[in-house]
Structure 1
Amino acid sequence: MPRVVKRKEHPLSMRLPEADIAIIDRAANLRGRSRTDFMREAAVRAAEDVLMETAPIRMSPASFKAFMAALSEPVRPVPEMIELFQRKAPWESGTGK
């Protein structure tokens, strides 16, 4: 009996305007990737982002109560964040401090 082999990859065909292909090719070249690899990664990343945006967060009533209590507490300054925001951005003059 012949053995059935499942395909690991499936073709996907798209029709795109020339301008879109030019942008994709330019970006793929900058990353040193093929057009196919670049588009696959970008499409998967976009799909994962959508799924994460719509994923429900589940917690017990006690955990939710603790979470809401933590959000209701007054803010406390974080010294490391204060220091970070006082630094100059790398593109500003100076060494970044």
Structure 2
Amino acid sequence: MTNRVKQAAINLRAQPRQRDLIDRAAAITSKSRTDFMLEASCEKAQEVLLDQRLFIVTDEQFEAFEHAFSQPLSENKGFQDLMSDKYSW
């Protein structure tokens, strides 16, 4: 008996310009439209799910977190450092 992998269908409708955009990007990456769309969708799904994670912190860490958020941005050294960072692009 051969081992068969079941495949689930995902159907969607797109504007022709959306399909063309996806097709151009898929071609550049040498992927089929299906492979390109599944990869992009899975990457986005993982991003969304990771953004919903629960963070466990100690009481001291939570107090530091609350303290940082209670400071005006003009007085928040970490925020000022972040905003003054020059991006390479």
| Percent identical | 25
Q: Among 27, 30, 45, which residue is 2:43 paired with?
A: 45
Under a length normalisation based on structure 2, what TM-score does the superposition of the two structures give?
Answer: 0.60
Instruction: Please give the root-mean-square deviation of Cα atoms over the aligned residues, in Å.
Output: 3.3
Partner of 2:77: helix, strand, or coil? coil
**Match for residue 10 of structure 1?**
7
Say which of 75, 83, 86 aligns to 2:77: 75
Q: Quote the residue 2:22 is aligned against.
A: 24
The 10-residue stretch of structure 1 (9-18 or 49-58) with the greater mean CA deviation from structure 2: 9-18
Question: Which structure carries more helix by proportion?
Answer: 2
Cα deviation, residue 44, structure 1: 0.2
Gaps of 5+ in 2: none
* Matched pairs, number: 80
Partner of 1:65: 63
| Higher alpha-carbon Rg | 1
Structure 1 residue 18: Cα displacement: 5.8
